[in-house]
Amino acid sequence: MIRLSYFRLLFLGVCISLLYSCTSQPNNSSKQESVGSTDSLSGKTTTALSDTPAAPIVSTLSTAISCTREMLPDDSMNYMAGGAGAYRPTQPNPIPAVLPAAAGMVYIPGGEFSMGIPDPTRVKGGGKEAMPDARPIHRVKLKAFLMDEHEVTNAEFAAFVKATGYVTLAEKKPTREEFPDALPEMLVAGSVVFTPPNHEVRLDDHLQWWSYVKAADWRHPEGPSSSNKGKEQNPVVHIAWEDAAAYAKWAGKRLPTEAEWEFAARGGLTGNIYAWGNQLQPGGKKMANIFQGHFPERNSAEDGYPTTSPVKKFPANGYGLYDMAGNVWEWCADWYRNDYYTSRASDKAWTDPTGPADSFDPDEPGVPKKVQRGGSFLCTDQYCTRYMVGTRGKADWRTATNHAGFRCVKDIN
């Protein structure tokens, strides 16, 4: 967890565990491609190698489908050259005459789709991250399911806590067993909060904008003097994976698999960069709560929200789901491995995959991590463009921060 890793930083000399790797560079001249992952606090990328060949421009142009619609001609060509020729049309399952229903949830038909993303650095606004851990693009087949139409809110989480007395990880005091070398005064409950500097900084040291804050938790998102009062409809934050899983179980639901999350986020579209299409701001319209300005010291909040926004403030995708990009990162059920896609590369569709059996991140080999998806209000093409729909995030499963939350899914019997 970030709390654990932060104490490691302070007392054991080990770097803080952050959420998503973002710095690997594409290798367009080789048949081997770096496979990396992004840790959401550090932005560090880990790399491995895959045997996925780079897609030549000439051979892929003729295979372009809806994945290049709305793009400028140069972007379209570059996107296809980056690997978009591997996309094949989404084939949703037949829709039943009577749809299963649950309050606040949306029916997701499932079906077969292409999962992953080409190298986005080739297109305008694609950022500086090659996203190698999201390749090769591969086919996945899923059953239908129900998904929360929006991220779990403070009000919904408060109802869970009232009914069960649940205490989140961030509200618990770290133990001497966890941190035998820590000074007693440092063993305090808290969580990690975005605390931007007041001046421009290099983006190679995330500790310049993240701080472990005493008494920061879901009720006090910026620390003890803050409150979530008046933000009942904002997504709950400072939620570790175990907290999200506990809520889901109480609600008779579960966390989505990474494949379910991506299928739902695509909203029936094939291979688009964003959950709504291929333009970040179509017609100048803000489609998600992400970072504007100069990261990390100046957030101009042109979308109206310097931190989280109330759910359903931005347009829904094709399935009627809100905030599938930005606002807060969302936990998935799967363990994270940066080489997972390459390890299962196959011409056949994977059926209802649930992720690898274990976790491995070369940056922090001993730290188990779960997948996170969707990006947050801190994502920007200057640092982390993980609001792009096929990209992957990761986090220590016992991490809590003020830009991570979750939503749930439910099986259809």
Q: Using a pLDDT cut of 70, give the percent of the chain over it.
A: 84
Residue reference for tokens 């029916």: 107
**pLDDT higher than 60, residue 34:** no
Number of other CB atoms surrounding residue 315 within 10 Å? 14
Number of other CB atoms surrounding residue 270 within 10 Å? 17
Residue 296: asked if its preceding bond is cis (omega within 30°), the reply is: yes
Distance in angstroms (rounded) separating the CA atoms of residues 386 and 391: 6
Structure tokens at 111: 């079906």
Which residues does 159 contact at the CB level (< 8 Å), separation at least 6?
A: none
Distance in angstroms (rounded) separating the CA atoms of residues 90 and 12: 48
Q: Average the pLDDT over 222-247 and give the result.
A: 98
**pLDDT higher than 70, residue 273:** yes
- Say if CB 78 and CB 273 are below 8 A apart: no
For the segment 126-167, what is each residue's pLDDT rounded down to a tens digit? Answer: 998 899 999 999 999 999 999 999 999 999 999 999 999 999
Over the range 212-241, which residues count as b (16 or more CB within 10 Å of their CB) and which as e? bbebbbbbbbbbeebebeebeebbbbbbbb
Strands 91-92 and 145-148 turn out to be: unpaired
User: What is the overall mean pLDDT for the chain?
Assistant: 85
Distance in angstroms (rounded) separating the CA atoms of residues 88 and 150: 28
For the segment 46-65, what is each residue's pLDDT rounded down to a tens digit? Answer: 444 333 333 332 233 333 44
Determine the pLDDT at residue 19.
Answer: 34
Give the lowest-confidence range in 7-16, 62-71, 306-315: 7-16
Distance in angstroms (rounded) separating the CA atoms of residues 265 and 281: 17
Distance in angstroms (rounded) separating the CA atoms of residues 405 and 410: 18
Closest alpha carbon to 278 in 90, 35, 73, 20: 73
Rounded (10°) angle between helices 154-164 and 241-250: 70
Residue 136: asked if its preceding bond is cis (omega within 30°), the reply is: yes
**Sign of the alpha-carbon torsion through 334, 50, 35, 80:** negative
- Say if CB 397 and CB 368 are below 8 A apart: yes
Give the lowest-confidence range in 41-55, 138-152, 194-208, 234-248: 41-55
**pLDDT higher than 70, residue 36:** no
* CATH code (residue 395): 3.90.1580.10
pTM of the model: 0.85
Q: Average the pLDDT over 170-181 and give the result.
A: 87
The two most distant CA atoms of the chain are separated, in Å, by 65
Which is more confident, 46 or 330? Answer: 330
Which residues does 177 contact at the CB level (< 8 Å), separation at least 6?
A: none
- Say if CB 180 and CB 200 are below 8 A apart: no
* pLDDT band for position 40 (cuts 50, 70, 90): low
Structure tokens at 313: 């403030």
Which residues does 347 contact at the CB level (< 8 Å), separation at least 6?
A: none
Determine the pLDDT at residue 39.
Answer: 64
For the segment 338-357, what is each residue's pLDDT rounded down to a tens digit? Answer: 999 998 777 899 999 999 99
Determine the pLDDT at residue 15.
Answer: 32
Determine the pLDDT at residue 177.
Answer: 86
**pLDDT higher than 90, residue 283:** yes
Residue reference for tokens 């039943």: 96
Structure tokens at 83: 């690997």
Determine the pLDDT at residue 64.
Answer: 43
* pLDDT band for position 184 (cuts 50, 70, 90): confident
Q: How many domains does the chain have?
A: 1
- With 0-12 / 13-18 / 19 or more C-beta atoms within 10 angstroms meaning exposed / middle / buried, residue 98 is exposed
Give the lowest-confidence range in 29-43, 229-243, 365-379: 29-43
- Say if CB 71 and CB 278 are below 8 A apart: yes
Determine the pLDDT at residue 66.
Answer: 58
Q: Which domain holds residue 242?
A: 2-411
